[in-house]
Amino acid sequence: MSKPRKKYKPKGVRMDALTWVISGFKKVAEVPDAGTKLMIKNHVSFDEIREGRGDTHHVDNLITMVNCAEALAKRQLGRDWLEEIGQAQDAIYAMAQRGVSGKPFLFTGEELKAVQTIVELHDEQLKNCPVRTLELALEDIEKEYKANKMRRIEPLETA
């Protein structure tokens, strides 16, 4: 008995390959929809959490932002900030743990400073980052997620 034939799936075709290549060289901040909206979304999430109105969606946005900042830093766009990025990741992790434990999603003073520094760093990264580099950084994040290299946010145990 022979194997059944697999359904034919045609490969995607780019209608304008030249525009796609040229857009890869543009800076993210120069792309109106992508760069500006991304920066605004990051700042809104940070402000909502800072003012005590944050929820899990805002925390997810901050986690994605800091992971993206780390991936861009590993791709030579702010490599000297890796230690501060790690501190911001720890700060968001601690805040998220408190939040899923039933407390409000709020930063402590030191955590707030660490995350604010990385929000500003990520804005600068996006202003100086080509679109293609950002795409590669997002692929790096996806690979780490699939390999289960990211920390899970567990509620704090109460004694």
Model pLDDT for residues 97-154, shown as the tens digit of each residue: 999 988 899 999 999 999 999 999 999 999 999 989 999 999 999 999 999 888 888 8
CA distances from 56 to 29, 53, 104, 108 (A): 27, 10, 10, 17
pLDDT at 159: 47
For residues 35 and 32, give the distance between their C-alpha atoms in angstroms, rounded to a whole number: 6
Is the distance from CB of 91 to CB of 114 less than 8 angstroms? yes
Binned at pLDDT 50, 70 and 90, residue 45 comes out as very high
How sure is the predictor about 158, in pLDDT bands with cuts at 50, 70 and 90? low
* Structural domain boundaries in the chain: 32-146
pLDDT recorded at residue 105: 92
Per-residue pLDDT tens over the stretch 1-23: 677 788 888 888 888 888 878 88
Q: State the DSSP code for 32.
A: I
Name residues whose C-beta falls within 8 Å of residue 36's C-beta, 6 or more positions apart in sequence: 29
